[in-house]
Amino acid sequence: MKKETRILKIGAQGQDDLILEAAGTIKEGGIVAFPTETVYGLGADALNHQAVLKIFDAKGRPADNPLIVHVDSKQTCMKIARNIPDKALFLMEMFWPGPLTLILERKDIVPDVTTAGLDTVAVRIPENIVALKLIEYSGTPIAAPSANLSGKPSPTNAEHVLNDLYGKVDVVLDGGEVNIGVESTVLDMTSDVPALLRPGKISKEDIELCVGDIIVAYDDRICPETERVRSPGMKYIHYSPDSSVILVEGDHDRVVTRIKELVDDFALRDAKIGLLLTDETKKNINSSLSYSLGSKDFPEHAAKNLFLGFRYLDGKGIDVLIVDGSFKHEGIGMAVFNRIRKAADMIIKV
């Protein structure tokens, strides 16, 4: 059903009257796209079955893929989760508000639709001031996946949200560009040893410094339906542009050489290519259509530019999108590689 979408433009610090208006929509059971520090989220009252259904509807999200519930305090977290282990409490102390989602045992107050029927719930406190105020003024936890059509790259500004969801959501709170650019780290705290289900800005090393060894339980491939997956999201296509994606990863000089060869090959075949390049690689390659991932030594720049670049190049009607994988794997670099590998049709290691 077509909705009237209201666009509320707010400054980075947030304009209270507009956030209050959006909170009113959440209270009435509507859906609101809003900025977080990771990517834009599409939110509804996490405790309202009908409201949460609207999120799945608008995104075309499979019903068995649960949502992250955003709260504004540890007290609210206690209302939806039980038997919270000490290690989880310590991680909350260290990283909340921030881009770390914890999987905890759920209380019955959380409807099945939010957790896709699982007996666990994913929770985090976001750091973005607009997101925090929206949750506070709504007076309820807000379930929010990324505010894109299912399978598409996550939105890092309000324009992306509108491209995907205009006419499908009640309100878009436009708070400008996000800070981080890739989704939160997801950590399962319900097993004896915590398990990393999705890499994000908070790295494995950051977490292990606080609570000792953890298990890596994510895969950079899309897990087939038949495999038992700990996080239902792992079996779906994610972050994916419409064009074919080729990732070339490895040592910088060899990546440059291989990308040049690919550019020449595709030119011979008259295919329109777009390049997502680090600044260092860009200096060595002549191509009219490219987007910058920033310096290869600063993976946080790649994080911020990745989905922007996917969407920009896709908008140019290209056949093939070649991604330069010569930036650092460390820290948030792991999360960026994870997103690109999941989006890639082909990975070339050089």
Q: Which of 25, 231, 305, 326 binds ligand AMP (CB under 6 A)?
A: 231
- Partner whose footprint covers residue 118, from Mg ion, ligand AMP, none (CB < 5 to 8 Å by kind): ligand AMP
Please, which residue, 146 or 243, has the CB nearer to Mg ion? 146
Cα separation, 107 vs 4, whole angstroms: 35
Out of 138, 146, 290, 305, the only residue in the binding site for Mg ion (CB under 5 A) is 146
User: CA 308, CA 284: separation in Å to the nearest integer?
Assistant: 22
Helix (H, G, I), strand (E, B) or coil at 161: helix
Residue 185, interface with ligand AMP (CB under 6 A)? Answer: no
Q: Which of 121, 196, 211, 321 binds ligand AMP (CB under 6 A)?
A: 121
Q: Which stretch binds ligand AMP (CB under 6 A): 62-70, 85-93, 204-212, 331-339?
A: 62-70
Alpha helices, H only, the chain: 16-27, 49-59, 74-80, 86-95, 112-115, 129-138, 158-165, 204-211, 252-268, 279-282, 299-314, 332-343
By CB under 6 A, residue 232 contacts ligand AMP: yes
For residue 197, how far is the Cα from the chain centroid? Answer: 13
Q: Which does 344 bind (CB under 5 to 8 A by kind): ligand AMP, Mg ion, none?
A: none
Residue by residue, DSSP assigns 247-272 as EEESSHHHHHHHHHHHHHHHHHTT--
Q: Are the beta carbons of 25 and 140 closer than 8 angstroms?
A: no
- Phi, psi at residue 324, to the nearest 5°? -85, 110
Number of H helices and number of E strands within the chain? 12, 17
146 binds ligand AMP (CB under 6 A): yes
- Specify the residue, 188 or 249, whose C-beta has the smaller distance to Mg ion: 188
Q: Which of 183, 173, 82 is nearest to 126 (CA)?
A: 183
**Smallest distance, ligand AMP to C-beta of residue 250, A:** 28
Q: At what angle do helices 129-138 and 16-27 cross, to 10 degrees?
A: 50
For the segment 64-103, give every residue that binds ligand AMP (CB under 6 A). Answer: 65-68, 103
Query: Contact letters (x/-) for Mg ion, 76-95, by CB under 5 A?
Result: --------------------
Of 160 and 328, CB closest to Mg ion = 160
Say whether residue 118 binds ligand AMP (CB under 6 A): yes
Among 47, 197, 245, 336, binds ligand AMP (CB under 6 A): 197
**In whole angstroms, what is the distance from residue 288 CA to residue 200 CA?**
32
Residue-wise over 248-261: b if at least 16 C-beta within 10 A, else e? bbeebeebbebbee
Q: Are 13 and 110 in contact (CB under 8 A)?
A: no
Question: How many chain residues are in contact with ligand AMP, going by CB under 6 A?
Answer: 19
314 binds, among Mg ion, ligand AMP, none (CB under 5 to 8 A by kind): none
200 vs 325, beta carbon nearer ligand AMP? 200
Stretch that binds ligand AMP, among 73-81, 82-90, 119-127, 272-280 (CB under 6 A): 119-127
Nearest-approach distance from CB 286 to Mg ion, in angstroms: 35
Site for ligand AMP contains 33 (CB under 6 A): no
Cβ at position 170, least distance to ligand AMP in Å: 19
Q: How far is the CB of 299 from ligand AMP (least distance, A)?
A: 19
Binding window for Mg ion (CB under 5 A); candidates: 63-71, 137-145, 276-284, 324-332:
137-145
Q: Smallest distance from the beta carbon of 108 to ligand AMP, in angstroms?
A: 15
Question: Cis (ω within 30 of 0) for the bond into 99?
Answer: no
Taking the CA atoms of 326, 251, 185 and 295 in sequence, report the sign of the dihedral they define: negative
For residue 225, the tally of other CB atoms under 10 A from its CB is 8
- Name the site residues for Mg ion (rule: CB under 5 A): 145-146
- Name the site residues for ligand AMP (rule: CB under 6 A): 65-68, 103, 115, 118, 120-122, 145-146, 183, 186, 197-198, 231-233
